[in-house]
Amino acid sequence: MGKYILPGSLLLLLFIMLPIQAQQGLARLQKQGVATQLMVDDKPFLVLGGELGNSSASSVEDIQRIFPKLQRMGLNTVLVPVYWDLLEPMEDAYDFTLIDQTIRQARENQLKVIFLWFGAWKNSMSCYAPLWFKEDYKKYPRVHTQTGKPLEIASPFSENVYQADSRAFSQLVKHIAAIDKNEGTVVMIQIENEIGMLEDARDYSTDANKRFNASVPEALTDYLQKNKQTLHPQMLEKWQAQGCLIQGTWQEVFGADIYTDEIFMAWSYARYVERMAQAARSIHHIPLYVNAAMNSRGRKPGQYPSAGPLAHLIDIWHCGAPGVDLLAPDLYDNGFTGWVTQYKLHNNPLFIPEIRLADNNGVRAFYVFAEHDAIGFSPFSIEDGSDDPQSPLLQSYAKLNELMPLLTHYQGKGVMNGLLFDEENKERVLCQGHLRIICRHFFTLPWDPRATNGSVWPEGGGMLLRLNKNEYLIAGSGIVVEFEHLNEKKAIRVQALGEDGFTLNGENKANGRVEKWSGLRVGIGSVDEVAVNDDGSFRYIRRLNGDQNHQGRHVRIPVGQFRILHVKLYEYN
DSSP string, 79-119: EEEEEHHHH-SBTTBB--HHHHHHHHHHHHTT-EEEEEEE-
- For residue 48, being part of any structural domain is answered with yes
- For residue 473, being part of any structural domain is answered with yes
pTM greater than the 0.85 cutoff: yes
Spell 201-218 as b/e; 16+ CB within 10 A means b. Answer: bbbbbeebeebbeeebee
User: What share of the chain has pLDDT > 70, as a percent?
Assistant: 91
* In a shared domain, residues 428 and 561: yes
* In a shared domain, residues 402 and 427: no
Whether 87 shows a pLDDT value over 60: the answer reads yes
- For residue 248, being part of any structural domain is answered with no
User: What share of the chain has pLDDT > 90, as a percent?
Assistant: 87
**For 388, phi and psi rounded to 5 degrees?**
-70, 125
Contacts of 95 (CB under 8 A, 6+ apart): 1, 2, 3, 4, 5, 86, 87, 88, 89
User: Mean of the pLDDT values across residues 271-289?
Assistant: 97
* In a shared domain, residues 77 and 192: yes
Listed residue (68, 50, 59) closest to 101, CA to CA: 59
* In a shared domain, residues 119 and 163: yes
> CA-to-CA distance for 162 and 140, rounded, in angstroms?
9
**Which pLDDT score is estimated for 10?**
34
Cβ neighbours around 15 below 10 Å, total: 18
* In a shared domain, residues 108 and 135: yes
Question: Range of 151's domain?
Answer: 10-202+268-407
* In a shared domain, residues 395 and 501: no
- For residue 64, being part of any structural domain is answered with yes
> Of 342, 377, 407, which one is at a domain's C-terminal end?
407
Q: In what order do the strands lie in the sheet with 435-441?
A: 427-432, 435-441, 479-485, 555-557
* In a shared domain, residues 349 and 432: no
* In a shared domain, residues 298 and 422: no
**Which pLDDT score is estimated for 22?**
38
- For residue 38, being part of any structural domain is answered with yes
Residue-wise pLDDT for 389-437, tens only, equals 999 999 999 999 999 999 999 999 999 999 999 999 999 999 999 999 9
User: Mean of the pLDDT values across residues 47-63?
Assistant: 98
- For residue 389, being part of any structural domain is answered with yes
Q: How many domains does the chain have?
A: 2
Query: Cα-atom radius of gyration of the chain, to the nearest Å?
Result: 27
- For residue 231, being part of any structural domain is answered with no
Residue ranges with strand state E in 308-426:
326-331, 351-355, 376-379, 416-421
Quick check: 382 and 50 in contact, CB under 8 A?
yes
Whether 308 shows a pLDDT value over 70: the answer reads yes
Of 4-18, 378-392, 429-443, least confident by mean pLDDT is 4-18
Q: Helices in 375-419 by DSSP H: which ranges?
A: 392-410
Listed residue (119, 112, 115) closest to 87, CA to CA: 119
> Of 407, 431, 460, which one is at a domain's C-terminal end?
407
* In a shared domain, residues 381 and 481: no
516 has which bridge partners? none
Quick check: 43 and 81 in contact, CB under 8 A?
no
User: What's the start-to-end Cα distance of the chain, in Å?
Assistant: 75
Inter-axis angle of helices 97-108 and 159-180, nearest 10: 40
**For 326, phi and psi rounded to 5 degrees?**
-160, 155
> Of 407, 434, 451, which one is at a domain's C-terminal end?
407
Q: Find the CATH number of the domain harbouring 65.
A: 3.20.20.80
User: Mean of the pLDDT values across residues 364-389?
Assistant: 98
Residue-wise pLDDT for 141-194, tens only, equals 999 999 999 999 999 999 999 999 999 999 999 999 999 999 999 999 999 999
* In a shared domain, residues 421 and 403: no
* In a shared domain, residues 317 and 360: yes
* In a shared domain, residues 468 and 366: no
Whether 501 shows a pLDDT value over 80: the answer reads no
- For residue 233, being part of any structural domain is answered with no
Q: Find the CATH number of the domain harbouring 430.
A: 2.60.220.20
Residue-wise pLDDT for 508-554, tens only, equals 444 445 556 667 899 999 999 999 999 999 999 999 999 999 999 99
Listed residue (224, 306, 191) closest to 257, CA to CA: 306
**Which pLDDT score is estimated for 17?**
40
Residue-wise pLDDT for 189-231, tens only, equals 999 999 999 999 999 999 999 999 999 999 999 999 999 999 9
Spell 513-537 as b/e; 16+ CB within 10 A means b. Answer: eeeeeeeeebebeebbbbebeeeee
**Which pLDDT score is estimated for 488?**
79
> CA-to-CA distance for 408 and 31, rounded, in angstroms?
11
Residue-wise pLDDT for 129-143, tens only, equals 999 999 999 999 999
